[in-house]
Amino acid sequence: MFSKVLIANRGEIASRIIRTCKKMNIQSVAVYSEADQDAPFVKEADESYLIGKPRVNESYLNIEKILKAAKDSGAEAIHPGYGLLSEHGGFAEKVRESGLTFIGPSAEVISTMGDKIAARKHMEKAGVPVVPGTMESMADVEAAKEKAETFGYPVMLKAAAGGGGIGMQAVSTAEELEKAFEGNQKRAKTFFGNGDMFIEKLIVNPRHIEIQVLADEHGNAVYLFERECSIQRRHQKVIEEAPSPFLSEETRKKMGEAALKAVNALNYVNAGTMEFLVDEKENFYFLEMNTRLQVEHPVTEEITGIDLVEQQLRVAHGEKLSFTQEDLSINGHAIEARIYAEDPNTFYPSPGQLTKLKLPEGKGIRHELAVHKNSQVTPFYDPMIAKLVVHAPSREEAIEHMTKALHQYEIEGIKSNITMLKRVVTHEKFIAGDTTTSFVPDYYIPTVTNQ
């Protein structure tokens, strides 16, 4: 096994990876920006290296500085976490060219699946259902309007690169498409350096359900069931749970087998997630593949008992998976709530000093933290500061645990989305498992209070 691993990330995911490294007696190396010098993960790592100023392009996206830190520390491998460089094929390639192990799939697979148009083509060829849409990028709005007429409105306009809901907009008419095209194209170009756009038929009121996969370099692959990720704001997930309260056993198996088809077709190695849109009749369609660990991976760990970071490390070291599909089963129910430093009325970030942080405690409660009391939440990074995860024998009990835990969670000094989370998990639609990606705009009405 590796003796030392560098974590090319920050915040709660860096702390999460460090925790498993400690369990496996692997030395951990953190890299950090000036803004993160007092962050928990910097102190938790066995070694830490300052790599630049607060802005990500001067620190966490600076490949050469990260590789230099890896070389100086004597690290043998680099774990990219999620976000930042985790789905940057060029980074994965440079890591391997440097003689280090990249803890993830090949650079070629990362690049292929990072281009949503190329990914759609590969999935269709592999026999995985895809949403009807264009298989080529569209140069201008006129081409987009022509394609939209072919599929029929409403359609979803999407950027071919990137994620996080950037460059994505639902449109119902040609006029709306004309207004949306240029702005989204510019945003995609700014954020991802790629302004290519494509169109998909809009699946009305879908669920967002994803399948976790693991594969080794010896041809073994498994799926670790599904996560329900339909509670979203601005196309970004807020609450996730496993398993989905909606899927039948038959559809769960079909989706898992479809995910494994994709894994085999790509010769995929390491952890990954196949994301699907699922309609009210349980028809499912490929959305995208995340070639990395997911933010919401803890709910899968809680229901399966599998440490996904440990498996990533073992697979990257060349080991075979130590379990088969038949060994896996679902144990109880898990829910994750993302705690954001943001105004719960506008969803705008709320940077500042965290003057109070009191966490709920109890059986089945798990915390993933990027902060501590007196932390300075800066405007330079994603405003997610923590994740609250609960696990219980049943979904009903998990909801009860989550509700109680959210009411015990105390944050002062900044605004947070805890008010929103409490209202979601106590809503009759959520309790009934009747959630789609339109849940937040349909049922969440902001209030003027924070707690």
Token readout for 32 is 């950090």
Rounded Cα distance between 168 and 124, Å, is 22
CA terminus-to-terminus distance, the chain: 46
Token readout for 46 is 């066995």
Give the Cα-Cα-Cα angle 308, 385, 30 (nearest 5 degrees). 60
Instruction: State yes or no: is 292 an active-site residue.
Output: yes
**By CB neighbour count within 10 A (0-12 exposed, 13-18 middle, 19+ buried), where does 250 fall?**
exposed
Q: Do the beta carbons of residue 315 and residue 213 sit within 8 Å?
A: no
Q: State the DSSP H helix or E strand holding residue 347, giving kind and residue range, or none if neither.
A: none
Pairing state of beta strands 352-353 and 365-369? unpaired
Residue 445: partners with Cβ closer than 8 Å, 6 or more residues away: none
Identify the active-site residue in 16, 292, 338, 395.
292
3-state helix, strand, coil in the chain (%, to 5): 35, 25, 40
Token readout for 53 is 């100023």
Rounded Cα distance between 268 and 341, Å, is 35
**Residues with active-site annotation:** 292
